[in-house]
Amino acid sequence: MEKSGPRHWALAAFFALFVLFLYGPTVTIVILSFQGPDGGLTFPMRGFSLHWFANLFQPQMVGDFGGSFERSLALAMIVMGLTVLISLGAGLAFRRRFFGATALFYLTIAGLIVPSILISLGIGLMFNVAGIPPNWWSSALGAHLTWTLPFGVLIMFAVFNRFDHSLEEAAQDLGASPWQVFRHVVLPLIAPSLVGVALFGFSLSYDEFSRTIMAAGSDNTLPLEIFAMTTNVTTPVLYALGSLTTAFSLGLVVLVLVLVLGMRRRRRAAAG
Amino acid sequence: MSTTTIAAAPVGAADMPGARRRRWASALPYLQALPLWLVLGVFLLIPIATIVAVSFWDDQEYALVPTFILDNYRDALGSHVTWSTYVSTLRYAAIVWAATLGIGFTVAYFLSFHVRSTLWQMVLFQLCAIPFLTSNVIRMISWIPFLGRNGLLNRSLMAVGITDHPLEFLLFSPFAVVLAFVHLYTLFMVVPIFNTMMRIDRALVEAARDAGAGPVAVLRHVIVPLSLPGIAIGTIFVVTLVMGDFVTVQMMSGGQSASVGLMMKNQISLLQYPSAAAQAVVLLITVLLMVWAILRVVDIRKEL
């Protein structure tokens, strides 16, 4: 809107600094994870090697990196699937009026606002009182869903608020059954958003820490394992692990962006 | 509305009697919302109810004893430690709120009013939002090379000659805690404020400018008032996240600073569940009161 004056450039510089602030530290630990075998947690670099990455995959590595990664991956997949299905169902439900809709909406928002430590403690206590041992696939799964579902539901809200009803009505007028309208009109239109919900479900679960801490039971998830490492590991192996798991998360984001852009392009090609 | 249109669809409905179809259509939203009810009921409502119940229980030799005592609340509210911890947590919340609001508003303002191409707007916005999908713990660890005793910041300060010995207060200090909070949570301000700003009718800005308002006046009298709902949503996020935090304070202060969450976590690791539960109830009430106060000031319903 504004022509490029000094104010514009000052704001642009501020934005650039903000991006540097966001990404700078991560870039630093990626660089430092390539430290030579004698290197420490801070600069200078003492050589350049893959030593710490190799160290990560040695069996005597501190902690249980492999096992916790597998658990986090499996948990994130389950959370992703459930978040997509449940958010989609709720998103469709909220398009109509139904008894209890407002209460359900506030409960969903409460999942975001109630401090994580309460969710963690509450679920831990509930399992304790019920005499059921907590586990990553039960208590931690529930804890993660209280965090991913509000995001999923809010995304579906935004999607259906902008949704063009005339498309559905046109399909109905042409004789499509409700299921056909959903399958052939609604679903293709909201598919990119569902992919977004899936990304949120997966990533938020994969990186979740504070809701998991008292709900994971005896087997750690990856973030819990990394947190435990911070207190007893003083070598760049910590950075190597951090770099790998961040690369994994970012790779996923890029994959999803490519997927969504591809879907849009295909739809545009089909329309044109 | 769509209920009637579905029921009125003439073709393809032939095999289902109208009444049955209508009943099915009116039951559908309940079935679609049921899984969300179940998950939030079991993993949000019941756990909080459990916390409230346990906060009145007793514990003897690490076992929970169901009863009804007020000792846990008396201990929690009567303790000087609780009050000073609340003061320190509220101070963190206030500082972090001010910093994230200042940075978040400026970034959102730049993105929505100074970036002209929609494509670039989206690319730069994603750039701000992507770190949300990476690990908080790792983002905190990544400050060590900067703030450590031999970290980059100390080296540069010494190289420039501002100081001749490494500054100890950088890592494991309240400063590091605030820095990490701002680093982690500014995007919770950027996203809602950006969303609100994108919906501001650009004609209003033009009109204000035509009426002779300078850039500052436009900002103060048009953009800030219209961005308030986004600011309120961002504020709710940041304040509740900081109020309930334990991991950032523990990691970045090296155990030298206190927060309500950390106090609770310590009680939990000592298996003092009823005390922790009473603290949890006090924290929940505090946070809900803060949210209520924010909603009293700003109406966010238009945003939903």
Q: What is the pLDDT of residue B107?
A: 96
Is the pLDDT at A58 greater than 80? The verdict is no
Q: What is the pLDDT of residue B276?
A: 93
Q: What is the pLDDT of residue A42?
A: 77
Please give the average per-residue pLDDT across A196-211, as a whole number: 93
pLDDT tens-digit profile of A61-103?
566 778 888 999 999 999 999 999 999 999 999 988 889 999 9
Ranges of each domain in chain B: 2-54, 75-303
Instruction: Report chain B residues whose CB lies below 8 A from the CB of A82.
Output: 39
User: Quick check: is A1 in a domain?
Assistant: no
Chain B nearest C-alpha distance from A84 (Å): 11
Here the CATH number for the domain that contains residue A142 is 1.10.3720.10
**If you write DSSP's letter for every residue of B79-123 in order, what string do you get?**
-HHHHHHHHHHHHHHHHHHHHHHHHHHHHHHIIIII---HHHHHH
* Rounded CA separation A247/A249 (Å): 5
Yes or no: say if B113 and A2 are a contact pair by the CB < 8 Å rule.
yes
pLDDT tens-digit profile of A127-175?
999 999 999 999 999 999 999 999 999 999 989 988 888 888 999 899 8
A-to-B residue pairs, Cβ atoms closer than 8 angstroms = 289
Mean pLDDT of chain B: 87
pLDDT tens-digit profile of B269-281?
888 899 999 999 9
Interface test with B, best of A20, A21, A22 (most B CBs within 10 A): A22
Instruction: Report chain A residues whose CB lies below 8 A from the CB of B246.
Output: 117, 210
- Nearest residue of B to residue A168 by CA position? B2
Is the pLDDT at B12 greater than 70? The verdict is no
Q: How is residue B139 written in tokens?
A: 């983002």
Is the pLDDT at B304 greater than 70? The verdict is no
Is the pLDDT at A239 greater than 60? The verdict is yes
Instruction: Identify the architecture of domain B75-303 in CATH.
Output: Orthogonal Bundle (1.10)
Q: What is the pLDDT of residue B1?
A: 39
* Rounded CA separation A252/A107 (Å): 30
User: Quick check: is A22 in a domain?
Assistant: no
Contact B145 A257 (CB under 8 A): no
User: Quick check: is A192 in a domain?
Assistant: yes
3-state secondary structure of A242: helix
Nearest neighbour of A113 by CB, restricted to B149, B150, B240: B240
- Nearest residue of A to residue B179 by CA position? A21
Long-range contacts of A226-235 (CB under 8 A, 24+ apart): A226/B135, A226/B137, A226/B138, A226/B141, A227/B137, A227/B247, A227/B251, A228/A63, A229/A62, A229/A63, A230/B137, A230/B141, A230/B251, A232/A62, A233/A62, A234/A41, A235/A40, A235/A41, A235/A52, A235/A55
Please give the average per-residue pLDDT across A236-241, as a whole number: 87
Domain of A228, in residue numbers: 64-271
pLDDT tens-digit profile of B75-115?
889 888 899 999 999 999 999 999 999 999 999 999 999 99
User: Quick check: is A25 in a domain?
Assistant: no
Instruction: Report chain B residues whose CB lies below 8 A from the CB of A89.
Output: 31-36
3-state secondary structure of A272: coil
Pick from A82, A74, A70, A77: nearest CA to A202: A77
